[in-house]
Every structure is written in structure tokens, then in C-alpha cells.
Amino acid sequence: MENITRKTLIYKSGLGIPAINHVRGCSHGCRYPCYAYMIAHSHQQVKSYDEWCKPQLVSNAAELLSKELSHKRVLPDHIHLCLSTDPFMYRYPEVTEMTLKLIRIMNSCGVHASVLTKGILPEELADEKKYSIKNTYGISLISLNEDFRKRWEPGAAPYSERIAALKNLSENGLTTLVHMEPYPTPNIIQQNLTNILESVSFADTIQFGGWNYNNLPKQFPEFEKFYTSQAAIVMRFCKEHDIHCETF
């Protein structure tokens, strides 16, 4: 894996939350398409999808994070990893190692990590001596069908592995989240939403949102009605299972 260096790390995202991206590019290569790739491509930071899928690690990320946190007069409550790459990139142990190091640095300063991945959350995160129990761990999950994953998230971890790793952290008493977005319409894949919800019924929060990255969902008749009905299923499921629900 190639390395790069950066001058700064923590930034305030468009969502208003502090975030870091300690990798440039992402081997998961989502084809919805990936919003981060489209932005990087439009700013000519990457020339092609193939280049995006060859991630480069920010080798000085730990030094930058320590320096930037020590210079802050008011520390943020939490920092999000990541909005423009994946913190636990599947089959990239260098990324996992760096992410764990960065979470330890944040936690040692009293800053909590909010993590979202399509990779495997390491068991090590359950070690209370090293990692804050106030961190939040999330996976993205919009299907259980592996053919769908290979088509739309080709480099990401298989769904069963993603869920098992999240469940393990949940069973260790940690706060977990499932991000179900971009949820596909039936012309993309026919699937049963309740089966997906059942597979993550242990989660503390479920977020549900539609597929807004291209026009495919709009080709499904009455796609807006479809999303309204699916959001109602999510809300009902969450209420029945005492799960915090966010739909958008």
C-alpha cells in the first residue's frame, strides 16, 4: 500500500461534525456511485475509478491528530471516521492498524470516536483498557445478498462478516449503529427489508435512507411510495425492538 503525507487532518464536515479521513481513496469501490469518489474526481484529485480503488495511507495521521488535538482550546465531543474513505478497509491491515491507533489517541484525550465501515470491526475495540466505551460503532448494510454486494460494493466485506463483527461489539456492551443507505428499489434488487432488519435487531440505532446517487430508483413506478412504505416498516420494527430510528 502506498503512503502519502498531509498537512492537516481534522476538518469540519458539511454535516457540521468534525471528521478525519486518513486514507486517500477506498478499495471498496462502491458503484452507486461513491459520492466521495465523485467529489475527488471532480476536483481532479483522482483521475479514474481504478486509481480511487488503490488506497493511499496518510502515514503522518497519528502525529497530525495528536498535534491538532493538543492545540484545540475546546475539544470536540467526538470525531467521525470516515466520510471520504473507510476506516476498516477490508483486507487492508495497515488501514485497520492506523485507525485503531487514531481511536486510541482520541480516546486518551477524552474525545470519542464515531465509526462507520463496510469492513470488519476488530474485536480489539471491546478492550476497555484501550478504547472508550463511549465510542459508537456502525456498519453500512443495505442487503444480505452477496451477488448484490459483489455488483455494488465489490471490495467491501461480505455482509455476514460485517454483521458478526458488529454483533460481537454489541454483546460486549458497546453502542452500535446500522446505516441502511442507499437502500435500493425493487428494480435494483428484490429483497425483504424485514429480513435485513432481523439480522441487526441487536443494534442501538438504525438509520434508513433512499438511493439518491443516480436515477435508477426513479425508474421504479411510484418509487416515492415505495420508500414511504419501507420507512414505515423500519420505524415499526425499531419501535417493537426499542431501537433508536432515524429515517431521511
Q: Please state whether beta strands 18-20 and 112-117 pair in parallel, antiparallel, or not at all (unpaired).
A: unpaired
Grid coordinates of 207: 438509520
Q: How far apart are CA 46 and CA 98, in angstroms?
A: 22
Minimum distance from CB of 57 to ligand SF4 (Å)? 14
- From residue 115 to residue 144, the character string flagging contacts with ligand SF4 as x (rule: CB under 6 A) and all else as - is ---x--------------------------
Determine which residue in the list 22, 28, 112, 179 makes contact with ligand SF4, applying CB under 6 A: 28
- From residue 30 to residue 69, the character string flagging contacts with ligand SF4 as x (rule: CB under 6 A) and all else as - is x---x-xx--------------------------------
The one segment of 26-34, 42-50, 120-128, 210-218 that binds ligand SF4 by CB under 6 A: 26-34
Minimum distance from CB of 64 to ligand SF4 (Å)? 20
Q: Which is nearer to ligand SF4, 30 or 57 (CB)?
A: 30
The one segment of 27-35, 93-101, 200-208, 216-224 that binds ligand SF4 by CB under 6 A: 27-35
Determine which residue in the list 40, 69, 79, 86 makes contact with ligand SF4, applying CB under 6 A: 86
Minimum distance from CB of 68 to ligand SF4 (Å)? 22
**112 counts as binding ligand SF4 under rule CB under 6 A:** no
What distance lies between CA 57 and its chain's CA centroid? 17
- From residue 149 to residue 168, the character string flagging contacts with ligand SF4 as x (rule: CB under 6 A) and all else as - is --------------------
If one counts every other C-beta atom within 10 angstroms of the C-beta of residue 225, the result is: 10
**26 counts as binding ligand SF4 under rule CB under 6 A:** yes
Q: How far, in Å, are 58, 77, 103, 185 from residue 97 at the CA level?
A: 12, 23, 10, 36
Q: Which is nearer to ligand SF4, 22 or 69 (CB)?
A: 22
The one segment of 25-33, 56-64, 70-78, 215-223 that binds ligand SF4 by CB under 6 A: 25-33
Of 118, 126, 124, residue with least CA distance to 175: 126
Helices 61-71, 93-108: crossing angle, 10 deg rounding:
20
**29 counts as binding ligand SF4 under rule CB under 6 A:** yes
Q: How far apart are CA 126 and CA 56, in angstroms?
A: 27
The residue ranges that bind ligand SF4 (CB under 6 A) are 26, 28-30, 34, 36-37, 85-86, 118
